[in-house]
């Protein structure tokens, strides 16, 4: 990847937390964009992949 493994893990963790926050808002009935569910799912997949790649590249 372009950046270091710790940045992968941090960015992935932030993506996961944002996706879960957005999913929870939708469950509570807050107004959201109609495509938000699809985007949240893909963000969750991409962020989880970032964390896995970062952990796999971690030195040691």
9-59 pLDDT per residue, tens:
999 999 999 999 999 999 998 888 888 888 999 999 999 999 999 999 998
Residue pair 36/26 in contact (Cβ under 8 Å)? The answer is yes
* Amino acid 1: pLDDT: 60
pTM reported for the whole predicted model: 0.86
* CA dist., res. 10 & res. 54, Å (int): 9
* pLDDT confidence bin for 2, thresholds 50/70/90: confident
Q: What is the CA radius of gyration of the chain?
A: 13
* CA dist., res. 31 & res. 47, Å (int): 24
Residue pair 13/50 in contact (Cβ under 8 Å)? The answer is no
Residues ≥6 apart with Cβ < 8 Å to 60: none
């Amino acid at each position: 990847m372009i950046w270091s493994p710790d940045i992968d893990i941090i960015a992935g963790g932030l993506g996961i937390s944002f996706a879960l926050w957005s999913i929870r808002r939708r469950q509570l009935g807050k107004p959201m964009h109609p495509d938000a569910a699809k985007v949240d799912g893909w963000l969750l997949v991409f962020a989880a992949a970032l964390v896995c790649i970062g952990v796999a590249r971690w030195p040691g």
